[in-house]
Structure 1
Amino acid sequence: MSYVAISNQYIEDVLGGRIVACKWVKLACERQQRDLKRNPIVEVAFPYRFDDDAANRICKFVEKLPHTKGKWARERQRIKLEPWQCFILTTVFGWLHVDTGMRRFRRAYEEVARKNAKSTKSSGIALYLFGADGEAGAEVYSAATTRDQAKIVFDDARAMALREPEMCAVLGIDVLQHQMHIEDESSKFLPLSAEGSTLDGLNVHGGIIDELHAHKTRAVFDVIDSATGSRDQSLLWMITTAGTNRSGICYEQRIHVTKILNGSVVDETFFGIIFTLDEGDDWADPLVWIKANPNLNVSVFMDDMEMACRKALSMPSAVANFLTKRLNVWVNADSAWMNMRAWDACGDPTLSIDDFEGEDCIVSHDLASKIDIAAKMRLFTRDIDGVTHYYGFGRYFLNEEAIEKAGNAQYSGWARQDLLVATPGNVTDFGVIEQDLLDDAVRFNITEAPYDPFQATQFSQRMVEAGLPMIEVGSTVKNFSEPMKWLEALVLQGRFHHDGDPVLTWMISNVVCHRDAKENIFPRKEREENKIDGAVALLMCLNRAVNLEPVTDGALDDFINSPIHS
């Protein structure tokens, strides 16, 4: 079968229900099927014809390229396009203008879950535009916000070229460390990022913008987009997975694609396809995963998906990552954090801090002076059958006026139970907090005393003068991401223990985790009244304790997928 025939069969299989696909893939197939029936002679607004040779040519070129990573590279295999990839390539490259013979599509947006060979295919496209598209003086760029990201597509393409010296000889390609060029044609291919010295003066024939969702600004996109105007058939190819920033350039392009596909906007030069779940799909159901992973059982493996799903089912903070990266679903940056059933199971009302007198202890402080609660956390460790267990005890301080005026009726009740220490006046008395810490120093062996420097300058100075080991731990992503992930794992493992403290439990339940583009997480609260100070103080303790027992995501995965847990 020709690649065009494979593409047409894919369309029939999707629309006939033989291939499970989401609504956007179905609409993309319907669009191509409908366009193939249009007549440019009759329909003046559609001056395009589909050329089988042009459509097949790009696919033939890509399949002559070698794999450069993994088992396929070790076995020296060449790229084998899947039907869905043939559909995309033949559609984008097969449509030509009836008069000029130039390509119809000038923009392509492809959104699909990770590990579906986006970069590999994009590297082949970039090489084709650079050396095989017949464009004199072609300028092709792999573009991203960072130099490292921009080099992913370029480095893959460079590795392909190095493994195909005969191709390079025929096309006249010189492969250098940081660029490729064809001297006779004055063509070049290189990575481009916002970290570069300049983005000006480009004359772009081909632009591959990688992971568009990670672009915090429009800078790189706008430069590439505006630099294609002087070319007759330039192509800007955007590849991405879903993200969280719905006000950014990626979501803007996505919305444009959805409007084209549902027919509310007409843009004959823009191709778009989105592989994701449909509304109402159960994300934990393996039967729907193929909608976001058209390469399922090819480069995406079911056991790996199942492992990631189990982790998401057990750890609420992992749900957003599973949805965005594995299922290509856009989510909010803030999502639920702690599994509260598991947290409650870690509670033991028979625990008493008195039982830990004389033991090593990390004591942290997250201070506040007026309306927020000042929190202190004391963290102990004990060895049980060769495994380290962690014990946390909180203490909380708030001034009397804030307690009386608080909208939270629990404050006064907690104060009566001595769960919340009420200090006189309208400002929390740090002297009471300092004395409480000095009392702890008599009872326990304080090995470290981390504190948030905000509002704590004089407090820390006085405690240092008192001989306490004060350590500054600011509220940053770097300081909190790993402790948050670690605490989740400790809770699920039953290795963290608390005495049922209702204040700490309330604060833990208030925490949502904010996820950045690098998959770091950070504690936040959804509303001002949802205090999280005790949770923050606990994370400060774990920030120091993690140095004693480093834990990686791999270790968390090992636990989540252990036979006992699963």
Structure 2
Amino acid sequence: MALSNTATPRYYGKFRDAVIRGEIPVCEEISMEMNRIDALIANPGVWYDDQAVEGFVEYSENECTLTDGEDLHMLDSFKLWAEEIFGWYYYVERSVYQPDPDGHGGHYVKKTIRKRLITKQYLIVARGASKSMYESLIQSYFLNIDTSTTHQVTTAPTMAQADEVMSPIRTAITRAKGPFFQFLTQGSLRNTTGSIADRVMLASTKKGIQNFITGSLLEVRPMSIDKLQGLRVKCATVDEWLSGDVREDVVGALEQGARKEQSGGQNDDYLIIAVSSEGTVRNGPGDTIKMELMSILKSEYNAPHTSIFWYKLDSIDEVNDPRMWMKANPNIGITVSYETYQLDVERAEKNPAVRNDILAKRFGIPMEGYTYYFTYEETLCHRHREFWQMPCALGADLSQGDDFCSFTFLFPLANGSFGVKTRNYITERTMQKLPTALRIKYDEFLQEGSLVVMPGTVLDMMQVYDDLDQHIEECQYDVSCFGYDPYNAKEFVERWGRENGEYGVVKVIQGAKTESVPLGELKKLSEDRMLLFDEALMTFTMGNCITIEDTNGNRKLLKNRYDAKIDSVAAMMDAYVAYKINREMFD
């Protein structure tokens, strides 16, 4: 069949029929993407080619193998994703340079050329869906079928992880099961001076995987803007961009480099595929990208060049219903068993510490904060309370005075629980540099009054002292003792001693020796819901609390300096240590 601007794509049509019949449950995000595809079908300016994706499927099944060398049978989900990439085209008029017949000079003429519509595809799908295999097939197809000289890149949070995309291609080269790969792998890689006909034409080398016929290269690059910007990539795959603690938008850097091809007027049909399972590290570039994707899915702005397949459960209640698990993983029962999912569900019920990770990775439900230490339930806010004129212990974490500093008030209550209030300071410069998702979160903290933005680039600790002192006066807190981390605290602590006296001032040295016991006791208090905090900032900080445990079971807080997280948990621990040492002051 020729190009059609009315036809329904073959594999999408089968998928849509199965959804309508109720055979395949889909989440709200996939339903919105189906509406976008239906809009493309109805758009007379966009054309569908039914042969392009068939070529990809035939190449993959005839030439490619699984990582262990077994024959590959294309999954229906792969066909659906690839059909949106290779199936849609549109026509544009462009000025093209045409040489004169005599070879001297030339002139520009207007020509109508066909362009592939989709240049960027986002896949958010649960663990065990063979995402890396899909990336590998796309990379292999571009490397060997595209006759132009291409530069292709695959990246992931670690180089070893990115190499998972390369591994199936290397295996396929070794096995050479199809006639095309048999032709490409004839000859010897060591033949560098003899006949070109006797040299191997496709091989895995130190650079990556090279096609010597076209001069094309597929290589692994680190997931860093410095290593990825400026590349004129034809095809790029980004793996696990939501899973790791990534702080840079590498997809944007790759796209800017790929668009440089347009300056030459040709070869601008680049493709970027960003694939990941849902992550547990919140409020970074990944969340900012997801906000943009949701705007596209809701049709708040038109982005026809972007394909989005976002698989997840619609509600946490669906975790207990195996019939709904296909919403999160369309390949369940094929690439991963229902038994594997069931074991993870049981593990999440028995071990709350891994619950957030399982909900994110298996079911696509993003949880607030990476809960290594405090579980999700422990970070939920209590009802609002006032602690007017009540005695308290104050903890201070000033270790990032050039960026932010945190103060936490701990109020011992009659039943053994503790009231918690926090006050935090950052600079205008820090606020302006925040990514969009984190900026929205910080605006919430500003509104509740737990965060204060100070003018300038570097925090003036005397201004911070004045503001904190005024805050204590307004709330009429009775600060009985003061615990502090000595790093970067000299100026603040000296003034505190002059104005409030040095009695009850406790230095809390950071490290497993001093932190292990108070952290363990605070954990027990939080498990019993005896830390009574009512501020979203405290929820946010506890959700990002990470601890390192040594071989003896001693724990200490892990502070990611680059994280721009407000660490009031460290200040709460300092206040707790000061309270224990000066307990008689609260009797």
Query: Out of 82, 92, 95, which is 1:89 matched to?
Result: 82
Q: Could you tell me which residue of structure 2 aligns to residue 108 of structure 1?
A: 121
- Report if the CA contact (8 A) 2:10-2:50 is conserved: no
Q: Could you tell me which residue of structure 1 aligns to residue 180 of structure 2?
A: 167
Could you tell me which amino acid in structure 2 is paired with residue 161 of structure 1? Answer: I
Measure how far apart 1:173 and its partner are. Answer: 1.7
With structure 2 as the length reference, what TM-score do the two structures score?
A: 0.58
Q: Could you tell me which residue of structure 1 aligns to residue 502 of structure 2?
A: none
**Aligned-residue CA RMSD in angstroms?**
4.2
- Alpha-carbon distance between aligned partners in 2 of 1:426 and 1:208, rounded to the nearest angstrom: 54
Distance 1:529 1:222, change over 3 A: closer
Range that drifts further, 109-118 or 12-21: 12-21
Unaligned ranges ≥5, structure 1:
41-47, 342-368, 374-404, 415-424, 429-453, 458-470, 488-500, 537-566
Q: Does 1:313 align with 2:349?
A: yes
Could you tell me which amino acid in structure 1 is paired with residue 306 of structure 2? Answer: F
- Alpha-carbon distance between aligned partners in 2 of 1:228 and 1:337, rounded to the nearest angstrom: 42
Q: Does 1:409 align with 2:416?
A: no
Distance 1:304 1:473, change over 3 A: farther
Distance 1:80 1:226, change over 3 A: same
Helix, strand or coil at the partner of 1:108: strand
Distance 1:120 1:312, change over 3 A: same
Distance 1:147 1:340, change over 3 A: closer
- Report if the CA contact (8 A) 1:340-1:509 is conserved: no
CA deviations on 1:118-140 (whole Å, 9 max, x unpaired) are 00111000111111133x11111
Measure how far apart 1:472 and its partner are. Answer: 5.5
Helix, strand or coil at the partner of 2:47: strand
Could you tell me which amino acid in structure 2 is paired with residue 87 of structure 1? Answer: L
Distance 1:304 1:370, change over 3 A: same
Measure how far apart 1:96 and its partner are. Answer: 1.6
- Alpha-carbon distance between aligned partners in 2 of 1:370 and 1:86, rounded to the nearest angstrom: 61
- Report if the CA contact (8 A) 1:138-1:188 is conserved: yes
Q: Does 1:154 align with 2:207?
A: no
Q: Could you tell me which residue of structure 2 aligns to residue 251 of structure 1?
A: 287
Distance 1:221 1:474, change over 3 A: farther
Could you tell me which amino acid in structure 2 is paired with residue 59 of structure 1? Answer: V
Measure how far apart 1:473 and its partner are. Answer: 4.8
- Give the alignment of 1:356-371 within 5 angstroms: 371=394
- Alpha-carbon distance between aligned partners in 1 of 2:557 and 2:321, rounded to the nearest angstrom: 29
- Alpha-carbon distance between aligned partners in 2 of 1:200 and 1:263, rounded to the nearest angstrom: 29
- Alpha-carbon distance between aligned partners in 1 of 2:64 and 2:58, rounded to the nearest angstrom: 12
Measure how far apart 1:371 and its partner are. Answer: 3.7
Unaligned ranges ≥5, structure 2:
1-7, 92-111, 185-200, 262-266, 379-391, 397-408, 419-479, 484-506, 532-541, 559-565, 578-587
CA deviations on 1:529-554 (whole Å, 9 max, x unpaired) are 99668999xxxxxxxxxxxxxxxxxx
Measure how far apart 1:522 and its partner are. Answer: 8.3
Distance 1:89 1:413, change over 3 A: closer
- Alpha-carbon distance between aligned partners in 1 of 2:363 and 2:135, rounded to the nearest angstrom: 20
With structure 1 as the length reference, what TM-score do the two structures score?
A: 0.60
Query: Out of 312, 317, 334, which is 1:298 matched to?
Result: 334
- Alpha-carbon distance between aligned partners in 1 of 2:229 and 2:73, rounded to the nearest angstrom: 37
CA deviations on 1:357-389 (whole Å, 9 max, x unpaired) are xxxxxxxxxxxx96469xxxxxxxxxxxxxxxx
Helix, strand or coil at the partner of 2:113: coil
Query: Out of 6, 14, 33, which is 2:19 matched to?
Result: 14
Measure how far apart 1:91 and its partner are. Answer: 1.4
Query: Out of 217, 232, 236, which is 2:272 matched to?
Result: 236
- Alpha-carbon distance between aligned partners in 2 of 1:19 and 1:222, rounded to the nearest angstrom: 33
- Report if the CA contact (8 A) 2:225-2:249 is conserved: no
Distance 1:334 1:193, change over 3 A: closer
Query: Out of 21, 28, 44, which is 1:23 matched to?
Result: 28
- Give the alignment of 1:188-203 within 5 angstroms: 188-194=217-223, 198-199=227-228, 201-203=230-232
- Alpha-carbon distance between aligned partners in 2 of 1:474 and 1:293, rounded to the nearest angstrom: 45
- Report if the CA contact (8 A) 2:353-2:374 is conserved: yes
Q: Could you tell me which residue of structure 1 aligns to residue 138 of structure 2?
A: 125
Helix, strand or coil at the partner of 2:171: helix
Query: Out of 46, 53, 56, which is 2:54 matched to?
Result: 56
Measure how far apart 1:62 and its partner are. Answer: 2.1
Identity score, percent: 17
Measure how far apart 1:320 and its partner are. Answer: 0.5
- Alpha-carbon distance between aligned partners in 2 of 1:188 and 1:5, rounded to the nearest angstrom: 32
CA deviations on 1:97-128 (whole Å, 9 max, x unpaired) are 23422211011001000110100111000111
Distance 1:286 1:533, change over 3 A: farther
Q: Does 1:264 align with 2:283?
A: no
Distance 1:211 1:504, change over 3 A: closer
Measure how far apart 1:504 and its partner are. Answer: 7.6
Helix, strand or coil at the partner of 1:202: coil
Helix, strand or coil at the partner of 2:72: coil
Q: Does 1:141 align with 2:169?
A: no
Could you tell me which amino acid in structure 2 is paired with residue 30 of structure 1? Answer: N
